Amino acid sequence: MSDRLPARMRALGTELAALRLRANLTTRQAAARIGISSATLNRIENAKRSASVADVSAMLAIYGVVGKERKRILALVEAVTAPGWLETDHQLKELIPALANFESQASTVYHFAPANIPGLLQTQAYAQAIINDVMAENVPALLADRLERQKVLTKRGAPDYLAVLDEAALRRPVGGSHVMAEQIRQLIERANLPNIEIRVIPFKYSQYSSPGTFNVLGFADAPPLVYVEHRAVSGFLDSPSGSRKLRDEAVKLAKVALDSTDSVNFLAMVAADYERR
């Protein structure tokens, strides 16, 4: 298996497969209409073969995809083999569907959060406060999408999920004391699920270098992906050197953090602090 499989190619394959299913077509039926073999279509959907603009245009016509959705997918095709996939703030809407798809396919998800609670663990009130702070438009849709993404952690065959949180993410009173108390109590509930582990790095453990917010997504049959999330730019790293460095950081940060039991006790203490206010 190659050390690098472009994130855009993987996202495109997943999306084309979903569109085919939405059109109620089997691989064989779709391939016959497009004029390619079913083996070729399978390889495109599994990101084992690049797709031409002509082939994807034919697929989209058969699948009934038009307008902005068609334009977006064709733009993805044109950049499909480019290394990495980074977007600025106003283009994040292009990344979120791909991130959600990758999360649904992953066997493991690691999330380091130095400043805010990870999206997959946020309560509705906390998520709304965060989204209101960074986005001026489409807040209800973004909130609904985030809450829908969270189902990946409780579905059948859910990935093993580890969140490493800096204490700063717990102490920053997003939405106020009531919202934070509710949020941290939910973290404790999530930590009791068999596939979810939450670990905290307290302020007293000051001797570590924070690389910023990032996710590492592991897959059973494909190379890992690293998703970085910063205020100015976010996206996927798929080069061996770039992703390996943050994967190594993930191991170090997990070793610095409190263990699972002590982390839950720490969360309970912080929740009680908010509830007293």
pLDDT for the residue numbered 89: 65
Which residue, 78, 99, 120, sits at the end of a domain?
A: 78
Residues 113, 63 share a domain: no
Residues 194, 71 share a domain: no
The stretch 219-237 carries a mean pLDDT of 86
pLDDT for the residue numbered 141: 85
**Cα separation, 188 vs 268, whole angstroms:** 7
CA end-to-end span of the chain, whole Å?
54
Q: What is the β-pairing status of strands 108-113 and 160-166? A: parallel
Residue 1, in any domain of the structure: no
**Cα separation, 224 vs 205, whole angstroms:** 29
Number of domains, the chain:
2
Strand partners, 196: 161
Residue 20: domain span = 7-78
Which residue, 59, 78, 97, sits at the end of a domain?
A: 78
pLDDT for the residue numbered 83: 72
Residues 22, 148 share a domain: no
Residue 2, in any domain of the structure: no
Task: Output the domain CATH number for residue 100.
Answer: 3.30.870.10
Helix axes 7-22, 67-78, angle to 10 degrees: 150
Residues 108, 64 share a domain: no
Residue 22, in any domain of the structure: yes
**Cα separation, 118 vs 116, whole angstroms:** 6
Residue with tokens 């061996």: 240
The stretch 188-195 carries a mean pLDDT of 97
Residues 116, 222 share a domain: yes
pLDDT tens digits, residue range 112-166? Answer: 999 999 999 999 999 999 988 766 677 888 899 899 999 999 999 999 999 999 9
Among 11-15, 80-84, 111-115, 265-269, the least confident range: 80-84
Residues 131, 215 share a domain: yes
Query: In this structure, what is the dihedral angle of CA atoms 70, 57, 27, 220, given to the nearest 10 degrees?
Result: -60
Q: Which amino acid is at 9?
A: M
**Cα separation, 153 vs 170, whole angstroms:** 21
Residue with tokens 């209800």: 140
Residues 228, 136 share a domain: yes
Residue 146, in any domain of the structure: yes
Q: Which structure tokens are listed for 214?
A: 């990032």
Q: Does residue 25 have a pLDDT over 50? A: yes
Residue 269, in any domain of the structure: yes
Which residue, 19, 45, 78, sits at the end of a domain?
A: 78
Residues 156, 45 share a domain: no
Burial of 1 per CB tally in 10 Å (0-12, 13-18, 19+): exposed
Residues 241, 207 share a domain: yes
pLDDT for the residue numbered 259: 96
Task: Output the domain CATH number for residue 62.
Answer: 1.10.260.40
Residues 103, 54 share a domain: no
Residues 259, 194 share a domain: yes
Burial of 140 per CB tally in 10 Å (0-12, 13-18, 19+): exposed
Residues 103, 24 share a domain: no
Residue 248, in any domain of the structure: yes
The mean pLDDT of the chain is 90
**Cα separation, 111 vs 119, whole angstroms:** 10
pLDDT for the residue numbered 82: 77
